[in-house]
C-alpha cells in the first residue's frame, strides 16, 4: 500500500501513550511556538520553489558550485546562496508581501532595495568595489541580477578578489540589518578593515587545522546530590541503517551503574523526536524502578527546555513531552 520510505516515515510519527485530542502544531520552530520570522521563511521557500525555472541550467549549476567551493566561512556561502535566490528579507521582498509600506532603500533613499541594490547599486556602498579587478567589467556591463553579478566576479582570475567580494557582501548585508534597526550606518572604511580581518582569520585557521580536527571530548559525568540517583539518557539516529536507538543509564551518587536500558526504534522524522523519546524512556524506567529521588540529564537542550516549559508544547514531539512530564 505504501512505498518503503513512506511506510518508514509513517512509523516514525511519534504517538502518545494515552488518548489525546487533536491539536494544531507548528513544526517550523524548534519549540513549536509560532513566530512571524518562521512563517516568513516558509513563504520565501515556497516562492523560491515555485519560481519559473532558470533558462540556463548550466550557468545556474556553475554558480552554485562556485559559491559552495568559495574559500570563506560557511555562513558567508549560505548567505550568498540565499541572496542569489532573492530569499533575503530586503525591503523589496517585504514590500511585495505587504509587510512594509515602501520598498525604498533606507540609507540612500534613491531606489528600491533588493539584494543587488544593497550589495552593488546603493550610492552609499558602491564605492567599496572600485579597487577590485572585476570593477571595470561591471562598469562596461552593469549587472541586472545578483546571480549575474556573482558570475562576472567569479570570472576574475584573482581568487583573493572573489574571497573579498563574498566577505564584503556578507558584511554589507549585516551592516544594512544593523543600520535598519538602529538607523546608524557603519562607515564603509570599517567594512573594508573587517573584511581583511575575517579573511586573515579564515586563512590562519585553515593553515593550522588543515583537515578539520576532531572536537576534543572533555565531558565528564558529575555525581548527583547525596541519596539521589542520576539517570542519563540519549538518542541517536543511524542514517545508513535507517534506524535509531535510545540509551538510558541509572547510577548511584558514587557513579556505580544500577540499571540500564537500550532500545532500537523506528527511525523518527527528526533528531529532536528521538531525544524526546529518550527522555520519555528515562522517566518511564525511573517509575518502573520505583525511584523518586532522581536527577535526569540529557544533552539535547531543546528537549530539556521543552520539559521545563509549563506551556503546551506544539512541536511534532509535543505529545511525547506531555507523556513525560
State yes or no: residue 128 binds Zn ion (CB under 5 A). Answer: no
Q: Taking contact as CB under 5 A, which single stretch among the options 20-28, 115-123, 154-162, 275-283 is the one that binds Zn ion?
A: 115-123
If the CB atoms of residues 171 and 276 are measured against Zn ion, the closer one turns out to be: 171
CB of 51 to Zn ion, least distance (A): 25
If the CB atoms of residues 105 and 166 are measured against Zn ion, the closer one turns out to be: 105
Sheet holding 257-266, edge to edge: 257-266, 243-251, 229-238, 294-297
What are the percentages of helix, strand and coil residues in the chain, rounded to 5? 50, 10, 40
Cα–Cα distance for residue pair 322/300, rounded to 1 Å: 17
171 closest CA partner among 133, 123, 125: 125
State yes or no: residue 122 binds Zn ion (CB under 5 A). Answer: yes
CB of 278 to Zn ion, least distance (A): 50
If the CB atoms of residues 115 and 324 are measured against Zn ion, the closer one turns out to be: 115
Q: Taking contact as CB under 5 A, which single stretch among the options 39-47, 59-67, 68-76, 118-126 is the one that binds Zn ion?
A: 118-126
281 in Cβ contact with 215 (< 8 Å): no
Cα–Cα distance for residue pair 317/244, rounded to 1 Å: 16
If the CB atoms of residues 105 and 303 are measured against Zn ion, the closer one turns out to be: 105
Binding string to Zn ion for residues 234 to 263, with x set by CB under 5 A, is what?
A: ------------------------------
Cα–Cα distance for residue pair 297/303, rounded to 1 Å: 11
DSSP per residue, 282-322: HHHHHHHTT--SEEEE-S-HHHHHHHH--SPP-STTHHHHH
**Can you read off the three cell numbers belonging to residue 101?**
509600506
# residues near Zn ion by CB under 5 A: 4
CB of 123 to Zn ion, least distance (A): 6
CB of 111 to Zn ion, least distance (A): 6
What Rg do the C-alpha atoms of the chain give, in angstroms?
26
Cα–Cα distance for residue pair 258/189, rounded to 1 Å: 63
If the CB atoms of residues 186 and 252 are measured against Zn ion, the closer one turns out to be: 186
**Can you read off the three cell numbers belonging to residue 155?**
570570472
CB of 115 to Zn ion, least distance (A): 12
- Report the residue from 108, 154, 243, 291 that binds Zn ion according to the rule CB under 5 A: 108
Cα–Cα distance for residue pair 144/140, rounded to 1 Å: 13
CB of 109 to Zn ion, least distance (A): 7
CB of 143 to Zn ion, least distance (A): 15
**According to CB under 5 A, which residues from 78 to 107 bind Zn ion?**
105, 107
If the CB atoms of residues 66 and 96 are measured against Zn ion, the closer one turns out to be: 96
DSSP helix/strand/coil, 108: coil
State yes or no: residue 172 binds Zn ion (CB under 5 A). Answer: no
Q: Which stretches of the chain bind Zn ion, using CB under 5 A?
A: 105, 107-108, 122
Amino acid at each position: 500500500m505504501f512505498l518503503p520510505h513512506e511506510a518508514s516515515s509513517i512509523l516514525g510519527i511519534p504517538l502518545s501513550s494515552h488518548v489525546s485530542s487533536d491539536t494544531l502544531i507548528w513544526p517550523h520552530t524548534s519549540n513549536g511556538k509560532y513566530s512571524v520570522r518562521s512563517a516568513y521563511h516558509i513563504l520565501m521557500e515556497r516562492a523560491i520553489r515555485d519560481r519559473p525555472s532558470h533558462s540556463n541550467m548550466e550557468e545556474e549549476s556553475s554558480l552554485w558550485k562556485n559559491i559552495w567551493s568559495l574559500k570563506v566561512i560557511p555562513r558567508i556561502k549560505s548567505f550568498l546562496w540565499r541572496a542569489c535566490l532573492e530569499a533575503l528579507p530586503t525591503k523589496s521582498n517585504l514590500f511585495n508581501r505587504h509587510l512594509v509600506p515602501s520598498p525604498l532603500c533606507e540609507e540612500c533613499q534613491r531606489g528600491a532595495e533588493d539584494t543587488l541594490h544593497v550589495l552593488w547599486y546603493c550610492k552609499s556602498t558602491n564605492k567599496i568595489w572600485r579597487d577590485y579587478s572585476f570593477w571595470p567589467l561591471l562598469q562596461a556591463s552593469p549587472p541586472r541580477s545578483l546571480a549575474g553579478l556573482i558570475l562576472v566576479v567569479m570570472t576574475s582570475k584573482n581568487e583573493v578578489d572573489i574571497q573579498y567580494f563574498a566577505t564584503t557582501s556578507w558584511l554589507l548585508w549585516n551592516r544594512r540589518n544593523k543600520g535598519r534597526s538602529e538607523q546608524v550606518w557603519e562607515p564603509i572604511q570599517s567594512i573594508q578593515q573587517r573584511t581583511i580581518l575575517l579573511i586573515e582569520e579564515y586563512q590562519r585557521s585553515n593553515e593550522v587545522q588543515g583537515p578539520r580536527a576532531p572536537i576534543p571530548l572533555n565531558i565528564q559525568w558529575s555525581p548527583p546530590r547525596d541519596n539521589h540517583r542520576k539517570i542519563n539518557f540519549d538518542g541517536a539516529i543511524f542514517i545508513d541503517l535507517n534506524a535509531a536507538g535510545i540509551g538510558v543509564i541509572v547510577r548511584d551518587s558514587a557513579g556505580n551503574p544500577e540499571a540500564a536500558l537500550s532500545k532500537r526504534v523506528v527511525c523518527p522524522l527528526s533528531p529532536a523526536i528521538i531525544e524526546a523519546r529518550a527522555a520519555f524512556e528515562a522517566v518511564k524506567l525511573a517509575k518502573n524502578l520505583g525511584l523518586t529521588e532522581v536527577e535526569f540529564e540529557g544533552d539535547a537542550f531543546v528537549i530539556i527546555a521543552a520539559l521545563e516549559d509549563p506551556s503546551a508544547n506544539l512541536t511534532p514531539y509535543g505529545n511525547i513531552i506531555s507523556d513525560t512530564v
